[in-house]
Amino acid sequence: MNQLEALKQFTTVVIDSSDMTAIQNYCLGDATTNPSIILKSINSDRYKHLIDDAVDYAKKQGGSKEIKIINASDKVAVNIGTEILNNITGRVSTEIDVRFSFDKFRCVNRAKKLINLYKDNGIDPSRVLIKIASTWEGIRAAAELEKQNIKCNLTLIFSLEQAIACAEANVFLISPFVGRIYDWYKTRDLLVNPYLATQDPGVNFIIDIYNYYKNYQYKTIIMGASFRRIEQITELAGCDYLTISPDLLKELKNTCSPLIRKLKPFYNQFLYKKQTPISESEFRWRHNQNPMAVEKLSEGIRQFYIDQHKLEVVLTSRF
């Protein structure tokens, strides 16, 4: 048995890609997308008809050129998500415009718009996860959306405070970014040498969240994301979900060495003291005490915006 098949015994494996060939090859239940992934897709001949459809939709909606570009951008994301859903059995994650990451009201409205666009494409909303950056405002938006049965994927998780606030908000799923945490420590030469997955700060961050959630029986799903090395993945065997790029899926599939489950629920209230509900001021203060989390959350939002803007520049030429 290869390591991919072994991993699937303990963990729901998700493909982190909009590449249809890879999605069809691996036949996994769920898929995740983001502005960077969507940007890569628009240059593919396979998606040309979806881009054309989005542009036609935006023109019919009318409005200023700016509004048309925004509508086309949202429709592109939904059209690609729909194409993915036609090739998988589970859910797809679609990210809202990251420019709304600090505006609860606009997060909620954009999420509803995306869900309605999916409905127009004949997709049941239960198959869609709305991705929102895990700012305080984003988490509050998700809390409101979950009450309206719109399931959310809170992304760019880098601190335990973010994870706890999401669980208290009854968010469906969170995406802690293992690889980006690894990158932060690596660029500062703070990793052990030689590399050990057991001492990888991104891996141990996921383990802390997993143990805390299971200890206090939170229902929020933990989906480890943004992997750089196969060892990070195998060390997290047993995590609820792991979203993995096609390159690393291929490496797992081509590796036949034994893989054992590393994460299992256990209960120890003394090891993981339950935090009191986090107020906005406490959340901001505690998160602010973690320089890595502050930097990577801000950087992640900025990078997604850069790719979102590049997508909009491409669409601008169509109007």
What pLDDT was estimated at residue 39?
Answer: 87
| pLDDT at 271 > cutoff 70 | no
Query: Band of the pLDDT at 46, cuts 50, 70, 90?
Result: confident
Checking if the pLDDT of 51 tops 90, the result is: yes
Catalytic residues: 131
pLDDT digit string, tens, across residues 8-22? 999 999 999 999 999
Torsion of CA 158, 187, 40, 141, to 10 degrees: 20
Mean pLDDT of the chain: 95
Domain tally for the chain?
Answer: 1
The answer on pLDDT for 29 being more than 80 is yes
What does the pLDDT read at residue 270? 64
Burial class (CB in 10 A: 0-12, 13-18, 19+), 144: middle
Half-sphere exposure of 232 (CA within 13 A, CB side): 27
Question: Would you state the structure tokens that stand for residue 226, as one six-digit string?
Answer: 């943004």
pLDDT of residue 269: 62
At 56, list the tokens: 């036609």
* pLDDT tens profile 147-202: 999 999 999 999 999 999 999 999 999 999 999 999 999 999 999 999 999 999 99
Expressed as residue numbers, the domain containing 197 is: 3-316
Share of the chain above pLDDT 70, in %: 97
Q: What is the pLDDT of residues 55-111, one digit of tens each?
A: 999 999 999 999 999 999 999 999 999 999 999 999 999 999 999 999 999 999 999
> In this structure, what CATH number is given to the domain that contains residue 58?
3.20.20.70
Phi, psi of 72 (to 5 degrees): -65, -40
Q: Residue 44's pLDDT is what?
A: 80
